[in-house]
Structure 1
Amino acid sequence: MQQINLAEASQHLSELIEAALDGEEIIITKDNLPAVKLMPILPVKRRRQPGSAKGLITMADDFDAPLEDFQEYM
């Protein structure tokens, strides 16, 4: 864990962001008190929602009709 004061953090922000992206915990202090924690934003995993594609998918009326190539097997 790295603690750095606000004045130094503003001068080295890009380096601190890279360190946070690499997994290092960065705490920015103000008046010697922890104020901000830099950490990467993880992608949000959304839960599947049944029926979310309703109306977006269409199927031909004859989708289950036998194919001409397979008539002899019927």
Structure 2
Amino acid sequence: MDAARQYNVHEAKTHFSKILEVVATGEEVIISKSGEPVAKVIPLKGKVQRTDYGSLKGQVAIADDFDELPDGFAEAFGVDT
């Protein structure tokens, strides 16, 4: 992995929009104060792009006893069964 770009606080304030553009491409940026790194700006994970219903087919499993309450559960929460 390449070294992260580094900016001092003044540069970061002046070029904040450019820094966000760089981060949006997947790079990390380090912000330094008096030559010492104090913060890291990293990209957020993107949204999951689902193309259609059923896109998780085969990836989710529901146990056969999913609808059965464990012993004592209903009583503990005051649920009538």
Normalising by structure 1, we get a TM-score of 0.54
Question: Over aligned residue pairs, what C-alpha RMSD do you find?
Answer: 2.2
Q: Percent identity?
A: 33
Please give the alpha-carbon distance, in whole angstroms, between the structure 1 residues aligned to 2:44 and 2:5: 18
Partner of 1:36: 39
Partner of 1:12: 15
Please give the alpha-carbon distance, in whole angstroms, between the structure 1 residues aligned to 2:20 and 2:32: 15
Matches within 5 A, 1:36-55: 36-43=39-46
Q: How many residues align?
A: 48
Q: What residue ranges of structure 1 are gaps of 5+ in the alignment?
A: 52-74
Q: AA paired with 1:35?
A: V
Partner of 1:21: 24
Partner of 1:3: 6
Could you tell me how far 1:7 is from its partner in structure 2? 0.3
Structure ranking higher in helix proportion: 1
Q: What residue ranges of structure 2 are gaps of 5+ in the alignment?
A: 49-59, 67-81
Higher RCO (Cα < 8 Å, 6 or more apart): 1
